[in-house]
Structure formats: structure tokens, C-alpha cells
Amino acid sequence: MPDDNQHHVSVRRGGHIVLIIGLLLLVPGIVAFGHSLGFAMQAQRAEGIFEGAIERNTSYGVMYYPKFTFRTTDGREASFTSGIGSTSQVYAPGSRLAILYDPAHPDHARADSLFGVWLPSVILLPPAFLVVLIGTVILLR
């Protein structure tokens, strides 16, 4: 039967491992946050008009990805197809949506919304912070 000292060393080792995993998980979240922040800081805003949906067969069945057209500040027409699809069409013909786009590359556009701009960060950072918190709590015990 292990003594308390061996148990304490084993728990601390586990805490270090959990903390390291959490810190490694933070890296892609921080990179995604940096990309989103850089995009948001230099992006221009436009109003997109719903033009229809792109239908794609996926493992979840048919998904519909809304396509919008918009005009850049210098008058060019561009289009944007959302990377977020759904099993039903949520936009009516002619619906409008705020779009953010890269002025140098208008084809790099996103919906001006929390998930449109920040989705990778929203997905990656909270679990990473939770794992870091768990590792820290283990180490502080």
C-alpha cells in the first residue's frame, strides 16, 4: 500500500500533466483569437443580401450554407458563403446581414456576429482554460 508521500508525488505529477495539457490546448485558441482580432481590427463593414444557399451533403445529411453578395467601399461586388451551415434554410430571399470583409481580399468575409468572427476562439479557449484551472487546483492542494 503506497504511503501518503508517494500519493502526494503522484497527484502533483498528475497536476503537472493536466496543467501542461491545458497550456498546450491554449495555444491554438490564442492563435485563433489573434487571427480573429487581426481580422476584426482591419475589416470593413458592408450589408450583405441573401442570394440563396449552397447545398452540401455531409455526414449529418444535407446542410445549407447561406450565400450573400455585398458591395465593398470602393464599389466592387463580392460574395460571401457562410462556413456555418444548418439543416434548414434560415434566411428568406432578400434578407440582409452585416458582413465584415478584408478590404484587400473581399472574398475573405465573415458575418458580423459573435460566432461569425469569434467561433474558433469561443470553441477552443473555454475548454483549455478549464483544463488549466483543473491542473492548477490539483497543484494547489
**pLDDT tens digits, the chain, 141 residues: what are they?**
556 777 667 778 888 899 999 999 999 999 999 999 999 999 999 999 999 999 999 888 999 999 999 999 999 999 999 988 899 888 998 999 999 999 999 989 999 988 889 999 999 999 999 999 999 998 888
Helices 4-42 and 114-140 pack at an angle, to 10 degrees, of 160
> Quick one: pLDDT at residue 2?
56
* pLDDT value, residue 3: 67
- Residue for grid cell 490539483: 138
List residues bridging with 112 in a β-sheet.
none
Backbone angles phi, psi at 63, to 5 degrees: -120, 145
